[in-house]
Amino acid sequence: MEIEVLRLGHRLPRDERISTHVALVARAFGARSITYSGQHDSSLETSVARICDAWGGSASGAPFTIAYEKAFGQFIKRKKRDGFAILHLTMYGLPLPQVLPEAKKAQKLLIIVGAEQVPREVYELADFNVSVTGQPHSEVAALAITLDRLMDGKELLATGPGAPDFRGKLRIEPSAKGKKVARIQSI
């Protein structure tokens, strides 16, 4: 399954950190790209590029990309035309466990998280409006849980079948007590 993430309504300076965390979670938990709308933020893009430079691309080894998209409605419609199923994370949606079997059938999935109030149009365009609990919390947590369920937890593996391969210059050597980082290439 090819997964992309769309972060709606990025606001400066309010969302600087949380949009960065949305991007880092998208990458670490199995998505291959993040697109964001709202205010353009080159420092957000630089932060993500810097992480990718050291730690690699997406979990499949392909590059992880970040892009800005002003017209999110047209972007979503374009993705639908390109065969993506649209999964919008909202506390008002159907519970994730109930939607998951159907969502897993998608070959390509665009996961949408909001920031400010999400326009009605997004709820209408979504194939799935999905809640991660019926409580207000964080787009970062909602995205992480959803990706983890979609990936069947394989993104958490360090080695073995299905484990991610980011092909970065740096790689963690899991340690019970220490902090071991292997330098795979000179950086």
Should residue 113 be labelled a site residue for ligand SAM when binding is judged by CB under 6 A?
yes
Stretch binding ligand SAM (CB under 6 A), from 26-34, 65-73, 125-133, 173-181: 125-133
Work out whether the CA dihedral 91, 94, 97, 102 comes out positive or negative: negative
Q: Give 44 or 52: the residue with its C-beta nearer to ligand SAM.
A: 44
* Of the residues 41, 69, 139, 155, which one makes contact with ligand SAM according to CB under 6 A: 139
Q: Are 97 and 150 in contact (CB under 8 A)?
A: no
Q: Environment class of residue 183 by beta-carbon count within 10 Å: exposed (0-12), middle (13-18) or buried (19+)?
A: exposed
- Angle at which helix 16-28 crosses helix 42-55, to 10 degrees, equals 30
* Of the residues 51, 86, 99, 142, which one makes contact with ligand SAM according to CB under 6 A: 142
Amino acid at site 157? L
* Of the residues 20, 100, 131, 171, which one makes contact with ligand SAM according to CB under 6 A: 131
Q: What's the helix, strand, coil split of the chain in %, to 5?
A: 35, 25, 40
The neighbour count for residue 10, using CB atoms within 10 Å, is 21
CB of 97 to ligand SAM, least distance (A): 12
Per DSSP, what are the bridge partners of residue 68?
A: 36
- Strand extents, DSSP E, the chain: 2-10, 33-38, 65-68, 84-95, 108-113, 128-131, 170-173, 180-183
- Which residue number is nearest to ligand SAM in terms of Cβ? 114
Q: Give 92 or 172: the residue with its C-beta nearer to ligand SAM.
A: 92
CB of 172 to ligand SAM, least distance (A): 28
Residues 64-93 binding ligand SAM (CB under 6 A) are 89-91
* Of the residues 53, 102, 116, 173, which one makes contact with ligand SAM according to CB under 6 A: 116
Stretch binding ligand SAM (CB under 6 A), from 24-32, 40-48, 110-118, 174-182: 110-118
Q: Interface with ligand SAM by CB under 6 A: which residues?
A: 89-91, 113-118, 131-133, 135-139, 142
